[in-house]
Amino acid sequence: MTATQIPTSFTPPLSGTVVTTGTIPFEQAKPRIEAIVAQDVNMVFNSEAGSFQALQDINLDIYQGEIQLLMGPSGSGKTTLLSILAGILTPTSGQVYLLGEEITAMSREQLSRFRLKNIGFIFQGFNLFPALNAVENVELALEVKGMKGGKRRRGEALDLLDQVGLADKADNLPKNLSGGQKQRVAIARALAGNPPLIMADEPTAALDSHSGHTIIELLRTLAKEGNRTVLMVTHDPRIMDVADRVSYLEDGVLKA
């Protein structure tokens, strides 16, 4: 079989297709599978004071197993774009494809089921239930995702905490955990059900240098060893070292 050459002017195809790069034989080429695609996404917020365009003509392709950062100044539209890509907000216009499916064409019920199965979300403020200990916070996520059997959920939750290095803190309430430990519990919760997409809003913003580094390394491991796609909004320059790609937003426009 002859080699497959991708020209420098190549434009990535629509979601769900496979791209090969370079001049290596086709059967040996490493496929690049699009996990997240945004096409001509616009977001306009309307109020009594008038209209505000938060995002303008956003086009973005993120591939399976990649760590993609969204960076930019406050008010640039990063969290709005993340919320649209996660299916939390619906864009004014444009299409979003996740894992080959157009989420912007889904009903609320379809989107809710899709998100529950395929997306793990990590919040800046941890969002742990204060009355539940670490393992119970993770167990609750597994229960919501439909896992049956209390013993099975407990075992899976303990395994997830072990993955993030917190097996010995399973019985601790959030108030008895450090900021880095709380964020690791939040990551374990996001991994419940083994979602292929992980989305994070400023996951290291509230952490000190040591804890932040631990979280960064953990997210890199999740992406590379678990072949998950990780999309993060961040101001933290420490994360740039582990990112495959960095995109910058300014005034709602994607610069790179």
Q: How confident is the model at residue 211 (pLDDT cuts 50, 70, 90)?
A: confident
Give burial (CB, 10 Å; 0-12/13-18/19+) of 124: middle
Look at residue 30 and tell me whether its pLDDT is greater than 50: yes
- State yes or no: pLDDT of 246 exceeds 60: yes
Six token digits for residue 96? 């979003």
The pLDDT of residue 89 is 95
Mean pLDDT of 205-226: 81
User: Is 18 a residue whose pLDDT tops 60?
Assistant: no
- Stretch 9-21: mean pLDDT, rounded? 44
Q: Give the contacts of 9 (CB within 8 A, at least 6 positions apart).
A: none
Is residue 240 over pLDDT 90? no
Mean predicted lDDT score pLDDT of the chain = 86
Angle at 123 between CA 174 and CA 190, to 5 degrees: 80
**pLDDT over 70 at 13, yes or no:** no
CB 197 within 8 A of CB 97: no
Mean pLDDT check: name the lowest of 90-104, 126-140, 175-189, 219-233.
219-233
Q: Which two tokens stand for residue 49?
A: 């004071």
Note the pLDDT of residue 32: 77
Say which residue, 207 or 138, is predicted with more confidence.
138
pLDDT digits 0-9 by tens, 162-172: 988 899 999 99
Residue 144 confidence (pLDDT): 92
Q: Give the domain ranges of the chain.
A: 66-93+106-254
Range name among 52-56, 147-151, 171-175 with the lowest pLDDT average: 147-151
Most confident of 30-34, 142-146, 212-216: 142-146
End-to-end CA distance of the chain: 36
Q: Residue for token digits 């960076």?
A: 71
User: Sheet harboring 253-254: ordered strands across?
Assistant: 119-122, 197-201, 229-233, 67-71, 245-250, 253-254
pLDDT at 47 (0 to 100): 87
- The CATH architecture of the domain made up of 66-93+106-254 is 3-Layer(aba) Sandwich (3.40)
